[in-house]
Chains A and B, each alone.
Chain A
């Protein structure tokens, strides 16, 4: 079964440094999501793409976070500068349609020291 690929699996960075995460969705999935999951909580949507366009980034801290999906396929989420409170699991998900079930990648666990 096709999977959503994410890298790296783990990332440790010092505060004020820049960090980037990569996601490759399931082929043919037009909708791509970046979620942040703090330990013990549910995933929270950061940004949603439809093809290469952002359809929702209302919860994305735009002063430090940026996301792009230039060719409408893979995507990058960047944090600069990282803060201690950014420590969390960053999950990428894709779906065939906006209302379809989400397929999640294994996530990137970020630790900011």
Chain B
């Protein structure tokens, strides 16, 4: 079936260090969305990428969509304790149904 793989599964970083999570699909995506889930919370929408090679920024967060629309990344510059949580990518394979990745759990060491 259509799957979205996400790596790494866990990431522990010192506060102030950068963080990156990667999302990969074996087939072309029509769009990809990113969500953040705080511990004990529910997923919250961050951004949607639609165009090949698209790059979007939200303050310290940079989102990229690959040229082939099969991969995406989320990069956080200078992490803060408020960045703690699990980051999920969710891909749309053109059927307007989202398939969520396995998530990357980010913990921050103060």
The interface of chain A, by Cβ under 8 A from chain B, is 41-45, 48, 56, 91, 98-99, 101-107
Contact = CB atoms under 8 A, between A and B. Distances in A.
Nearest to B95: A56
A26 B29 CA distance: 27
Nearest to A44: B100
Contact of B101 (A42, A98, A101): A42
Contacts of B45: 101-103
Contact of A43 (B41, B43, B96): B43
A24 B92 CA distance: 24
A107 B6 CA distance: 23
Interface string B86-107: 0010101000111111110000
Given A42-B101, A102-B45, A104-B42, 15 more contacts: A45-B97, A45-B98, A45-B99, A48-B97, A56-B97, A91-B42, A91-B43, A99-B31, A101-B33, A102-B33, A102-B35, A102-B43, A102-B90, A105-B42, A106-B42
Nearest to B34: A101
Contacts of A56: 97
Tier of interface size on chain B = 20 to 34
12 contacts: A41-B103, A42-B100, A43-B43, A43-B100, A44-B100, A98-B96, A102-B33, A102-B43, A102-B45, A102-B90, A106-B42, A107-B42
B100 A99 contact: no
A58 to B, nearest CB: 9
Residue among B31, B98, B102 with the most chain A CB within 10 A? B98
Interface string B30-47: 010101000001111100
Contacts of B99: 45
